[in-house]
A and B are shown apart, each in its own frame.
Chain A
Amino acid sequence: MAVRGGIWGIFLLIMVASAIWQVTSGSARIDGDVLSLIGLEKTDDTARKSDIETVRDLLANDANQAIIMVSANQQDMLETATRALASDIANIPGTKSVSMPGYDAGNLARLSDFYLPHAQSLLSDRDRALLRDGNGEPVYQNAVKTLYAPASMVSAASLRADPFSLLPNFLAELGNKLGPSGIVQRDNNFYTPILIILTPDLRRQGRDIAWVGKVNDVITNAQNNTNQSDGLTIAKTGQVFFAVAEATAAKADVQRIAIIATLGIFAMVLSVFFSPLPLIGTLITVGSGLIAGIAAVTLIFDGIHAIALVFGASLIGISVDYALHYLVLPADEKSPTARIATIRSGLSLGLLTSVCGFAVLAISPAILLAQIAVYSIAGLIAAYVTVLFVLPLLPARSIKHRSLIPRVYQKLDDTLRRLRLPRLVRGMAALAILGGFAICILFIPTDDDIRHLGHGNDTLTTQAGLIGDTMGMGGNPVFIRIDGADSQSRLQTGEAVQNALRPLIKDGTVGSAFGLSDMIPSIKRQDENRTLIKDQLFEIYAPKLAPLLPINIQTPNPDAPYLHADADAFVQFPELANLRDGTTDIVRLNAVTDANAVAMAIANIDAARLINPRATITDQFSHYRNWATVGLAIALLSAGILAIARYGMIRGLCVLGTPAGAMLVALGGAATIGITINFFTIMALFLVFAIGADYVIFFSESQKHRQQDTTRFAVFLSLISSILAFGLLASSSVPVVSAIGTIMAIGLPTAWVLSYAMCPTSVKADQSDV
């Protein structure tokens, strides 16, 4: 026994070292961003990315951007404050670049150089419409006036390539499609954005919290150093701010819950045993579970998600059951080996049932589910091994029956032992429970909307809304995905999409739409433009324009090279990479007020589809919920087979009916107080199932070793510890964590009561299975 305990102790130390190294070296970090865990699943179609993969890629790109909007009631003050703020932010480690669309000159020279050789293949929508209508006069007049305009950008080079000055109109329209920016005046205030690009490794290295802290300091300093009369206000938005806020809130919750739960369990154990030794045993068991869980997750994955961490903290509630099951055994003359033998079968069956349940999650395609499963399985196995190998090494201590908890327990136990139902009734009740649970899980309302999951941050949400409303930037991105085997077909579809969206842009339903085809028109479009320019401009107006120009106007060359969305274009404009993802082109939409109208507008374009990332991710969580529900059903089925094999049909059904009944009551109770079912509440049901199954299995197994009294007390102590841990989750500020806690707080006491009702043979007063 001592040797096995020693070896296991060494294993635990190795796991501690591994976990500490993984976390402190940055190899594995805590991630609070829900989006970072989704969309990593493998898909069968390797050529075409799924919506969620495309959403993840786009959001990952957006995650490296942040927007700060500065406003003031004087433009001079606005410029001074904006430049100072941008300079300070540029100096923060983790900032890759900072730009001020309101004050930067832009990329005119780069764009002109790129487009000028193709000027006679490019037309603005307005000029194209005029030429298509055979009305080239306004285009010609504009060309003439541009020659003499005070701020004209014409040059010798531009006139040679573009004598009708068509390119400036194309470029101006391109700018409008990119959406509003610069400086906006509204209600006597002026607003301008600062666009920040973060270094790609900022979040991966866990430096995002420090970066956000420094940005907040810079903003505070700017506001403190300004007179209130200047009306300076600063708003910020970006995934990095939301992710850090969520992670901070989640970590604070985890710390609070873990500390209070741990102290509560300490107090409980000390008050029952009046000795620190059982407490040490409990600590070792719980600690080994947590260590093994963290070590396993950090070894397998790049990091631990905050949600998995919360579940990990909850693991205390399960692993402490195993320790208590051993510690409450009477400290009589039996050897430790003999004492452990009396609970081994119960522990083993309980562990097996729980591992079966979590194993179903481990094979799911979702990283989040896999992390939770690995954490739970590794933690439970470690706790189990610790109870078997380490706890017997500690001197046994007896329960002090006159202390408060044993006395309270005795009264409750006396009451519950009167719950004696005939065997057939129990069997019927179990069947009814199982049927009711199946119906409930199928028909109870669900809500997978990701907006309802997080802690939320009203300030950030308000600021994001203000920036979106004022500048048409940030906020929930909406885009149209265009699929097609070849680049040209996608570009043509992109042009069809722009045509379809034009009325919506005009009436303000869509602020702006920008896709690859706006930068690189399709060859078909370029051919059309060439024909229009030649037929409607050159042939009619070149003779009139020629005397005004100091150059010979050349008729457009029909064999001139086309503008292509090729590697050269992507090298010159790396931003274009955000508009193409494999065989999918992206049209980004800004300030969409009616997504349904957009979907309707493009409904007839087969290769184009509106993608709302929020809806897509919500669908993904719906998929996870379905997966977890199926997993729960499989876990129940597995547990049922195990129970029937072990206890026979009726008793097996009764054993299965206990956790199922607990889940049924938890579902009903949660629904009554307004908690809807989502992936996370299903996960909470998993925990209710695992712990509830432990209770009834411990009850059932105890009679084999005549340990019914001590087992029932151990289960009672387990219940208290679980309520301490999971009940506190209900107090979390994160809605999803609170929902989990509520499910647990309802489900676990129900499982405890049902264990009495469904397993009367474990009750000392009723030895016969009637």
Chain B
Amino acid sequence: MTHRWSKAWALILFCAAVFPAFPVNADTTGLTSTAMLTPISDQQYLTGSFALDRHLDGFEAPLTSTGEFTLSPSKGLIWQNLKPFPDTTVMNDQGITRKHDDRTFETIASGARFHQFIALISAVLGGNWDPLSDQFTITPAKTATASNWQVTLAPKNNNGLSEQISQIIVKGDEFVTHVTLHKPSGDRDEITLNDQKRHDLPLPTDLAKLLSGNFD
């Protein structure tokens, strides 16, 4: 009955899908070196905007949200919903925290395990597919080109991921541009990423505070 890591798995899936930077060193998986991206180092962070369309099986209209994100391979991820409701979720080594409108914070989940998803993102951003290959079968699209590529991730059956995700399709060019998470229920999340920029650390003070767990 150890379901409490389900959110962690969901985050790992989410992050693995959204930020799988690109197969610069793809020898171990057979991916061709089509990436145009220079991997983000630990001394850098990535910012951009997103649009999330959550398609629920049997319903025509998706639940749509838009906002901005900040990813630091060494610090974590800040996911800021702007529409339809402002909401900030911080994910770092210590867990998931939600910032409420009244500037209070609520810990959604905590534990050292969250190191795993940060490490996963960092490894991927470094162009190393090995961490993903433990959990996923990674298949590059045959029609991919260096400027327009696609990778399909399928959870391996020997872990619990397959209970929550059936397939992830990642598309991109210089950055990841589009991610589709297919769930066993038939639902799917479509995530479009735009305006991505790479910056050198340090993070702006307010973001650094959020990612360091300083919520005062």
Contact = CB atoms under 8 A, between A and B. Distances in A.
Contacts of A148: 52, 54, 63, 65, 81, 84-85, 87
A190 B84 contact: no
A147 B53 CA distance: 11
B190 to A, nearest CB: 13
B6 A178 contact: no
A149 interface: yes
Interface stretch (B35-43, B111-119, B143-151, B205-213): B111-119
21 contacts: A75-B116, A104-B2, A105-B161, A105-B163, A108-B3, A109-B164, A145-B85, A147-B63, A148-B65, A150-B79, A152-B54, A153-B7, A153-B164, A154-B56, A156-B57, A157-B57, A175-B4, A183-B111, A183-B112, A184-B112, A550-B63
Given A105-B159, A150-B52, A151-B11, A181 B2 contact: yes
B154 to A, nearest CB: 15
B204 interface: no
Contacts of A185: 112
Interface string A544-558: 000010110000000
A156 B164 contact: no
Given A155-B57, A155-B185, A159-B56, A105 B84 contact: no
A108 B161 CA distance: 11
Contacts of A152: 10, 54
A76 B2 contact: no
A182 interface: yes
Contacts of B101: 141
B5 interface: yes
B1 A182 contact: no
Contact of B3 (A145, A171, A183): A171
Contacts of B1: 106-107, 111, 174-175, 178, 573, 575
B98 A175 contact: no
A713 B98 CA distance: 89
Ordered nearest first, which 3 A-B pairs have the shortest CB separation?
A105-B160, A175-B4, A550-B59
Contacts of B85: 144-145, 148
A176 interface: yes
A550 B56 contact: yes
Contact of B113 (A147, A150, A157, A183): A183
A435 B111 CA distance: 66
Contacts of A155: 56-57, 183, 185, 187
B176 to A, nearest CB: 14
A523 to B, nearest CB: 22
A106 B6 contact: yes
A155 B96 CA distance: 21
Contacts of A9: none
A105 B9 contact: yes
Contacts of A182: 2, 4-5, 111-113
A145 B98 contact: yes
A52 B112 CA distance: 39
A172 interface: yes
B79 A106 contact: no
Contacts of A174: 1, 3
A190 B112 contact: yes
B53 to A, nearest CB: 11
B128 interface: no
B2 A147 contact: no
A157 B185 contact: yes
A172 B4 contact: yes
A238 interface: no
Contacts of B58: 156
Contacts of A145: 81, 85, 87, 98
Interface string B1-21: 111111101110110000000
A596 to B, nearest CB: 30
Interface in A166-199: 171-172, 174-176, 178, 181-185, 190
Contacts of B57: 155-157
Given A155-B185, A176-B4, A190-B112, A548 B56 contact: no
B71 to A, nearest CB: 12
A565 to B, nearest CB: 15
Given A106-B2, A151-B14, A75 B112 contact: yes
A145 B65 CA distance: 10
Contacts of B89: 149-151
Contacts of A172: 4, 7, 108-109
Contacts of B108: 172
A171 B111 CA distance: 17
A70 B13 CA distance: 26
Nearest to A575: B1
A60 to B, nearest CB: 21
A16 B15 CA distance: 70
Given A75-B116, A105-B9, A157-B185, A550 B61 contact: yes
B202 interface: no
Nearest to B109: A172
Contact of A156 (B3, B59, B111): B59
Nearest to A76: B119
B60 interface: yes
A575 B1 CA distance: 9
Interface string A298-319: 0000000000000000000000
A101 interface: yes
B48 interface: no
A190 B116 CA distance: 12
A147 B64 CA distance: 9
B30 interface: no
A692 B7 CA distance: 72
A75 B14 contact: no
A54 to B, nearest CB: 22
A243 to B, nearest CB: 27
Nearest to A74: B115
Interface in B81-134: 81, 84-85, 87, 89, 96, 98, 100-101, 108-109, 111-113, 115-116, 119
Nearest to B118: A75
B5 A105 contact: yes
Given A147-B63, A182-B5, 12 more contacts: A75-B115, A104-B160, A111-B1, A147-B54, A150-B79, A150-B89, A151-B11, A153-B164, A174-B1, A175-B4, A548-B63, A550-B62
A575 B98 CA distance: 33
A551 B58 CA distance: 10
Contacts of B187: 155-156
Interface in A456-481: none
Contact of A153 (B10, B113, B186): B10
B119 A108 contact: no
A108 B112 contact: no
Given A76-B119, A108-B164, A148-B81, A550 B60 contact: yes
A159 B2 CA distance: 23
Interface string A652-693: 000000000000000000000000000000000000000000
Contacts of A101: 2, 5
Contacts of B65: 148
Interface in A58-90: 75-76, 79
